[in-house]
Structure 1
C-alpha cells in the first residue's frame, strides 16, 4: 500500500466533517500530487513489461511501446 494514502484519507475525513485549514489544504494538494506521480510510475512500469501477442503467437506490441521500452532500458 502507498504510505501517504492514510494521511490523504484522514485529511479527506476532516474536510468532510469540519473543513480544512489553509495549511491542511496545501498538504492535501501536495499529497494528492505525490500520490498521482506514484500511480503513474507504477502504471508505466507495468506497461513496460507488457507484450501483445496475436492468436498465432506473434509479437504485435505497438511500436510506440517498444520504443519506450528501449528508451527506458538505456
Structure 2
C-alpha cells in the first residue's frame, strides 16, 4: 500500500497557498489536481483496509460482522 508522503502534503499545501494568494499557472493547476487525485486514492485505499479489519461483536461476544464485510475480507 502506498503512503501519503510528507513531501506530497507539503506540495499540496504550497499549491493551495499559492492559489489563494497569487494564483496558479495552468501547469500548476494540473499538478494540483493530480496530487489531489493521488492523495484521495491513497486515503481511500487505507480507509478501505481499516474497514476490512473490523470485527463486529454483540454484547454476548458473538461475531455479528456483516456478511458483505466477511466476504470482502476473504477476497483480499
What TM-score results when the alignment is normalised by the length of structure 2?
0.91
1:42 and 1:2 mapped to 2: Cα distance? Answer: 10
Unpaired runs of at least 5, structure 1: none
Unpaired runs of at least 5, structure 2: none
What per-residue deviation string (whole Å, max 9, x for no partner) do you get for residues 31-61 of structure 1? Answer: 0000000000110111111000000000000
Considering Cα pairs closer than 8 Å and 6+ residues apart, tell me whether 1 or 2 has the greater RCO.
2
1:29 and 1:20 mapped to 2: Cα distance? Answer: 12
1:66 and 1:2 mapped to 2: Cα distance? Answer: 28
1:7 and 1:56 mapped to 2: Cα distance? Answer: 49
2:4 paired residue number: 2
2:16 and 2:9 mapped to 1: Cα distance? Answer: 10
The number of residue pairs the alignment matches comes to 72
1:58 paired residue number: 62
* Runs of 4+, deviation exceeding 3 Å: none
**2:28 is the alignment partner of 1:12:** no
